């Protein structure tokens, strides 16, 4: 159960850190603001999950907090999927990853909303309203760039080729997930994603080997650098507060 919550929290936090790299560097001001607002939602959701995880973990004492979970765990303790830790790439890559992730989040949280655990259900319900915007925004951009100029189309197709091997991990059950549910999610996700990619004139790569490991703590070489930057302050000055 705790790993389930940490996986949800870590997915959001790590993607949030990646997207945050666009702050002040977006292609135009409005879209810079859009990606950072989406990122703020992801961070808010991550905080809710970390707060809940820390209350579950604090059985004997109060040694865990949302901050300790975000800033004091090592690479191998993070349970996020690999897709979210990949470098931000170009704008097309960021957009496509956000779309894949938001669409996955929407389907997963729609299930969690019916969880018997009232805290899980409440966080999912709250987040779903925000995720709907994220899907709307990112899917519009996938279309615009995919079915855009020759150059934007080519960049989107490259992004798709690079990202696709990392999409399988969302649906390969980890020890905190149910295999049947993962299979159902995969079918539902493909039903959503495939028509949009087709409309955006993008081709899904065939016979792709799917990368895994993130959900059991085995990460790409990129996560360590990301954590080094994100955790620096709390590592150098433990318990520093605003």
Partner 1 sequence: MLNGNIENINLLLGEICDPEIPVLTITDLGIVRKVFEENNLFIIQITPTYSGCPAMDMISMEIRMKLIENGIKNFKIETVLSPAWTTDWMSENGKKKLAEYGIAHPNKFNNVDAGPKECPQCHSANTILISNFGSTACKALYQCNDCKEPFDYFKCH
User: Interface with partner 1 by CB under 8 A: which residues?
Assistant: 30-31, 33-34, 37-45, 47-48, 118-119, 121-123, 125-130, 133, 136-137
Decide whether 40 or 172 has the Cβ nearer to partner 1.
40
105-139 per-residue burial string, b: 16 or more CB within 10 A, e: under 16? bbbbbeebbeeeeeebeebbeebeebbeebbebbb
Minimal distance in Å, beta carbon 83 to partner 1? 21
Minimal distance in Å, beta carbon 99 to partner 1? 14
Minimal distance in Å, beta carbon 58 to partner 1? 18
Residue 20 CA to residue 104 CA, distance in Å, equals: 20
Decide whether 103 or 167 has the Cβ nearer to partner 1.
103
The answer to whether 75 and 219 are in contact (CB under 8 A) is yes
Decide whether 51 or 220 has the Cβ nearer to partner 1.
51
CB hemisphere CA count around 77 (13 angstroms)? 9
24-44 per-residue burial string, b: 16 or more CB within 10 A, e: under 16? eebeeeeeeebbbebbebbbe
Decide whether 55 or 220 has the Cβ nearer to partner 1.
55
The answer to whether 46 and 12 are in contact (CB under 8 A) is yes
Minimal distance in Å, beta carbon 79 to partner 1? 20
Per the document, the length of the chain is: 242
Minimal distance in Å, beta carbon 139 to partner 1? 12
Decide whether 209 or 241 has the Cβ nearer to partner 1.
241
Minimal distance in Å, beta carbon 30 to partner 1? 4
Decide whether 30 or 180 has the Cβ nearer to partner 1.
30
Decide whether 21 or 162 has the Cβ nearer to partner 1.
21
Q: Which residues contact 144 (CB under 8 A, 6 or more apart)?
A: 152
Q: Which residues contact 227 (CB under 8 A, 6 or more apart)?
A: 74, 75, 78
Tokens of 104: 């996955």
Minimal distance in Å, beta carbon 208 to partner 1? 32
């Amino acid at each position: 159960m705790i790993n389930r919550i940490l996986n949800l929290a870590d997915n959001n936090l790590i993607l949030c850190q990646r997207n945050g790299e666009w702050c002040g560097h977006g292609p135009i001001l409005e879209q810079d603001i859009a990606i950072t607002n989406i990122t703020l939602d992801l961070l808010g959701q991550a905080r809710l999950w970390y707060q809940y995880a820390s209350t579950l973990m604090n059985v004997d004492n109060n040694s865990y907090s949302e901050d300790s979970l975000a800033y004091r765990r090592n690479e191998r303790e993070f349970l996020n999927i690999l897709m979210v830790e990949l470098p931000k790439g170009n704008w097309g890559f960021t957009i496509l990853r956000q779309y894949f992730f938001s669409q996955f989040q929407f389907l997963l949280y729609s299930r969690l909303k019916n969880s018997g655990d009232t805290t899980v259900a409440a966080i999912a319900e709250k987040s779903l309203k925000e995720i709907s915007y994220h899907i709307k925004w990112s899917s519009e951009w996938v279309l615009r760039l995919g079915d855009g100029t020759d150059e934007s189309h080519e960049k989107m197709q490259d992004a798709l080729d690079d990202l696709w091997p990392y999409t399988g991990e969302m649906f390969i059950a980890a020890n905190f997930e149910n295999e049947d549910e993962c299979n159902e999610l995969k079918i539902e996700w493909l039903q959503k994603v495939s028509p949009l990619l087709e409309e955006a004139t993008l081709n899904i790569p065939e016979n792709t080997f799917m990368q895994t490991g993130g959900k059991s703590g085995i990460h790409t070489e990129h996560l360590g650098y990301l954590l080094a930057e994100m955790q620096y302050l709390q590592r150098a000055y433990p318990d520093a507060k605003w």
